[in-house]
Amino acid sequence: MNTTTVALSSVILLNASYEPLGKVSFKQAVRMLFREVATVEEGHNDRMIGPHPWPQVIRLVRYVAAKWMYRPAGYTRTGVLKRDRHRCAYCGRRATTIDHVLPASRGGPWSWLNTVAACEPCNLRKGARTPQEARMQLLVQPYVPTRAQLAAG
């Protein structure tokens, strides 16, 4: 991995209790290290930035109460795939698309409770029908995840 690729990547941020808080930019991670609000938990030991190894995972020195992390996450397509761990809700294979349980063409909303991850063949097979009409069973029930659940996934 060259210097430019590493420098542009994001760094995983952990709370002092080791729970994941999300990701920060490489630049922000370096700032946190030099302000001594974080330490390197995992890094490239062959590369250094001053006294610190090149960070991949940093941990906060002091615990931050992250109540906001346990609020419902904002709806996104990427979030649906993360929530469902990139697994098809119909067959369990790797999912690359999302599917509306009640099709959007029939008034189904773009929401956490109406969308699931799906592989392309299952998504095409289901089409603009409900799972019952298509004789396809959902292996998982859609739910509204918290921000913490998406950050951990």
Retrieve residue 110's tokens.
């773009």
- Kindly state whether residues 77 and 143 are assigned to the same domain: yes
- Check if the beta carbon of residue 62 is closer than 8 Å to that of residue 16: yes
Residue 25 has pLDDT above 50, yes or no: yes
Greater pLDDT, 137 or 148: 137
Q: Cα(60)–Cα(24) distance, rounded to whole angstroms?
A: 12
- Kindly state whether residues 45 and 80 are assigned to the same domain: no
- Kindly state whether residues 86 and 148 are assigned to the same domain: yes
Rounded-to-10 torsion of CA 66, 116, 85, 26? -50
- Kindly state whether residues 112 and 139 are assigned to the same domain: yes
Catalogue the long-range contacts made by 67-74 (C-beta closer than 8 Å, 24 or more residues apart). Answer: 68/147, 69/21, 69/146, 69/147, 69/148, 69/151, 70/146, 70/147, 70/148, 71/146, 71/147, 72/112, 72/144, 72/145, 72/146, 72/147, 73/112, 73/144, 73/145, 73/146, 73/147, 73/149, 73/150
Host H or E run for residue 29: helix 26-34
Question: What mean pLDDT comes out for the span 29-54?
Answer: 90
Q: What is the pLDDT of residue 67?
A: 72
What CATH number is given to the structural domain containing 94? 1.10.30
Kindly state the DSSP code that residue 146 receives in the 8-state scheme. B
Query: What's the total number of domains in the chain?
Result: 2
Q: Which structural domain, as residue segments, surrounds residue 95? A: 72-152
- Kindly state whether residues 147 and 86 are assigned to the same domain: yes
- Kindly state whether residues 57 and 114 are assigned to the same domain: no
When mean pLDDT is compared across 6-10, 51-55, 75-79, 93-97, the lowest value belongs to: 6-10
For residue range 112-134, list pLDDT tens digits in order: 999 999 999 999 999 999 999 99
**φ/ψ bin of 51: left (φ > 0), alpha (ψ from -120 to 50), beta (otherwise):** alpha
Share of the chain above pLDDT 70, in %: 92
- Kindly state whether residues 97 and 56 are assigned to the same domain: no
